[in-house]
Amino acid sequence: MSRLDYVIVLAAGEGARMKSVSTPKVMHTIAGRSLISHVLSAVEKLSPTQIRVVVGANREQVESHLQEIAPTAVSIFQERRGGTGHAVQIALADTSATGTVLIVAGDTPLLSSQTLRQVVDAHTKGGFAATVLTAELPDPTGYGRIIRADDGELLRIVEERDAAEFERDIEEINSGVYVFDLAKLRSAISKITDSNSQHELYLTDVVQILRKAGERVVPILTPDFVEILGVNDRVQLAECAAIMRDQINDLHMRAGVTLIDPTTTWIDASVTLAADAVIHPGTALSGTTSIATEAVIGPRTTLIDCEVLAGAKVIESYCRGAVIGENASVGPFTYLRPGTVLGSETRAGSFVEMKNAQLGFGSKAPHLSYLGDVTIGEGSNIGAATIFANYDGENKHHTEIGDHVRIGSDSVIVAPVSIGDGAYTAAGSVITEDVPAGAIGVGRAKQRNVLGWVMRRRPDSLSARAAAQSESETPANSPTSTSEKGKPTP
């Protein structure tokens, strides 16, 4: 494997065609990573001695991002955007190192480390002064064209805006990936001029200078032009995202994961899936999400930074920062927020929201409930429409629920409280005090019926008519015609 001394990543462009008011071009994302993160991930696998990133537009944002994703990379600021040649000049200005340098663009997220390694190895083995990765595009519009010499070596690269009509018909284009002998690059790049339509220093002009000096410059044609596609606008961003989606999905399917509809399944590059996991259509898996074997996800489910253990099922739900235990069931229409931990055999059913909630083995919240800041033991059941009132307007409070507890439907659990093992709460209760083990907590007012209220207060309503009809059909001694004391209601 050939030694690689330097990598220079060109990331100073304005990205005007992205039409973004806040995000630098190289920080737009596909498959969960920024464009430049994909590029750096590829070049880091080549183990270069040093990576240098030339930044310009939105310098502070890009440099801060680099500290997160590649803290050992060296940032070089290009204050005046003077072209690719100028960017490389300033990247080399403070070093006299020799060896081999790889130059790539920061907006080419589909580049693979395998292709880059092949180019570096071919360059080193051939002892060339420069090696350029090229591709043949069905529509080469916008790219610099490759002009070959009679011997097949690279004669020059002409930018489209400077190309003659016949040169624009050439389909072989410059990918923007170069490998140079450092000493020869440093000598040649000092001789380039801005005598072109853009009045910029083109790195591509180095090719002609090296050729005139008798050096060998070779093009290497990649068989897959997709790898070299760059991102200059939102359309190209979406195109590259779709290509990467297909690449990621293909790898997972070949590793034993079932994707029912790969075209509607979006999986970040950082996600891990085990063999025999099943992913249904309309699913998005992001961040550090991991899916264990025989788990079933989707349809129409989003998981962000979640851990799903073996055999779990998550259907039509949105989950972030949650752990979903073995054979647990989630959904449909469930919202799991950070800090939620579902134990094995648990259930978070339809229209349930959980935040910082832990459910022990076999516990369930089947439907229509909010569980916030609560720890629940084994085998407990949370009745429908239960609310854990965990926030007093300033602070969050915690609730402890024991094993085999039954929370009645429409209960409000006002934290902080503790409900002991085997305890019950009556349906419709507001629980503000601890409930001992084996007890039932009842926190509701006694019901009072005011008879005749509708006929008096809503005499012309359909309800009054229905009530009058019902009363006319009720025997005089029926208990519905008197108050609870047995006297007519006034």
Which of these is catalytic: 199, 280, 367, 397? 367
Domain assignment present for residue 487? The answer is yes
CA gap 361, 217 in Å, rounded: 67
Q: How many CB atoms lie under 10 A from the CB of residue 466?
A: 11
Domain identity same for 249 and 215: no
Q: What is the DSSP string of 8-19?
A: EEEE----GGG-
Domain assignment present for residue 347? The answer is yes
Domain identity same for 170 and 261: no
Domain identity same for 171 and 247: no
Helix (H, G, I), strand (E, B) or coil at 5: coil
Of 448, 359, 372, 445, the C-alpha closest to 402 is 359
Token pair 């979006």: residue: 266
Token pair 């002409």: residue: 158
In the chain, % helix, strand, coil (3-state, to 5) comes to: 25, 30, 45
> Tell me: the pLDDT tens digits for 427-447?
999 999 999 999 999 999 999
Domain identity same for 435 and 457: no
Residue 404's Cβ-count burial label (10 Å; 0-12, 13-18, 19+) is middle
Report whether pLDDT(481) > 50: no
Q: For residue 58, give the DSSP letter.
A: B
Domain assignment present for residue 117? The answer is yes
Helix (H, G, I), strand (E, B) or coil at 249: helix
Q: Is 367 a catalytic residue?
A: yes
Among 198, 228, 258, identify where a domain stops: 228
Q: What are the structure tokens assigned to 281, written together?
A: 């259509």
- Which position has the higher pLDDT, 108 or 94? 108
Domain identity same for 430 and 454: no
> What pTM does this model have?
0.90
Q: Are 189 and 88 in contact (CB under 8 A)?
A: yes
Of 294, 302, 296, 293, the C-alpha closest to 279 is 296
How many angstroms separate the Cα of 119 from the Cα of each of 115, 128, 283? 6, 11, 37
Among 228, 253, 282, identify where a domain stops: 228
Domain identity same for 419 and 478: no
> In this prediction, what percent of the chain has a pLDDT beyond 90?
89
Of 50, 121, 56, 63, the C-alpha closest to 82 is 56
> Tell me: the pLDDT tens digits for 383-396?
999 999 999 999 99
Domain identity same for 98 and 212: yes
Domain assignment present for residue 419? The answer is yes
For residue 473, what pLDDT is reported? 81
Helix (H, G, I), strand (E, B) or coil at 1: coil
Residues spanned by the domain of 484? 449-490
> Tell me: the pLDDT tens digits for 83-100?
999 999 999 998 888 899
Domain identity same for 260 and 216: no
> Tell me: the pLDDT tens digits for 457-476?
999 999 999 999 988 887 76
Q: Are 345 and 326 in contact (CB under 8 A)?
A: yes
> Tell me: the pLDDT tens digits for 314-361?
999 999 999 999 999 999 999 999 999 999 999 999 999 999 999 999
Domain identity same for 290 and 242: yes
Query: Is the link from the previous residue into 490 a cis peptide, with omega within 30 of 0?
Result: no
For residue 479, what pLDDT is reported? 56
Domain identity same for 481 and 420: no
Domain assignment present for residue 1? The answer is no
Structural domains counted in the chain = 3
- The CATH code of the domain that includes 18 is 3.90.550.10
For residue 199, what pLDDT is reported? 86
Among 228, 247, 273, identify where a domain stops: 228
For residue 3, what pLDDT is reported? 87
What is the overall mean pLDDT for the chain? 94
Domain identity same for 437 and 386: yes
Q: What is the DSSP string of 470-484?
A: HHHTS-TT-GGGS-T
Within 93-214, residue ranges assigned H as helices are 113-126, 165-168, 182-189, 205-212
> Tell me: the pLDDT tens digits for 213-262?
999 999 999 999 999 999 999 999 999 999 999 999 999 999 999 999 99
Section 63-90 average pLDDT: 95
Of 33, 23, 106, 25, the C-alpha closest to 267 is 33
Domain identity same for 287 and 351: yes
